[in-house]
Amino acid sequence: MNELENYYLTHDEDGRLLSKHGSVEFITTMKYIGEYLAGVPSPSVLEVGAGTGRYSVTLAKEGLSVTAVELFEHNLGILKSKLDGSEPIRVIEGNALDLSMLDTGSFDLTLLL
C-alpha cells in the first residue's frame, strides 16, 4: 500500500467536505460550476480524482451527465454506495496520468480538485 492510498483509507474525506471549512469549499465550487455551465444544454462533466464522489454524485443527482475517474477502489466503493442507479454517471477506476479511455473534447467542464 502506498502513502496516498493509506491516507484515503485512514482519513474521512466525506467528513472533511461536510465540515464547516469543507462546506465553504463545496458551496463555493458548486456556485462557480453552476455559473460556468449556465446556458449549456445537457452539460457533460468529467471529474478526475473523484474521490468519494461529493461533487460527481451531487452533479449527477442534479441531472448532469458525469464521468467520475478515481484511482482508489476504496473511494470508488463509497462513491458507488451513494448512487441509486438512476443518475447519469459513469464511474471509472483509472489514473489521472492516463485518460486515454476518454474521448478528447467530449466534456463541457473538467474538475480536478
User: Does position 9 have pLDDT exceeding 80, yes or no?
Assistant: no
> In which band, very low, low, confident or very high, does the pLDDT at 34 lie, cut at 50, 70 and 90?
very high
Give residue-wise pLDDT tens across range 46-84.
Answer: 999 999 999 999 999 999 999 999 999 999 999 999 999
The yes-or-no verdict on residue 7 having pLDDT over 90 is: no
CATH tag for 3-111 (out of 3.40.350.10, 3.40.50.150, 3.40.50.720, 3.40.980.10): 3.40.50.150
Helix or strand (DSSP H, E) at 111? strand 109-111
62-81: b (≥16 Cβ within 10 Å) or e: eebbbbbbbbbeebbebbee
Residue type at position 70? E
Query: Rounded to an integer, what distance in angstroms lies between the CA atom of residue 109 and that of residue 113?
Result: 12
Q: What is the pLDDT of residue 1?
A: 59
Do 56 and 47 contact (CB within 8 A), yes or no?
yes
Q: In the 3-class helix/strand/coil scheme, how is 16-67 assigned residue by residue?
A: HHHCHHHHHHHHHHHHHHHHHHCCCCCCEEEEECCCCCHHHHHHHHCCCEEE
Beta strands in 63-108 (DSSP E): 65-70, 89-93
Q: Alpha-carbon dihedral of residues 49, 50, 52, 55, nearest 10 degrees?
A: 140
pTM for the predicted model, two decimal places: 0.89
Q: What is the residue extent of each domain of the chain?
A: 3-111
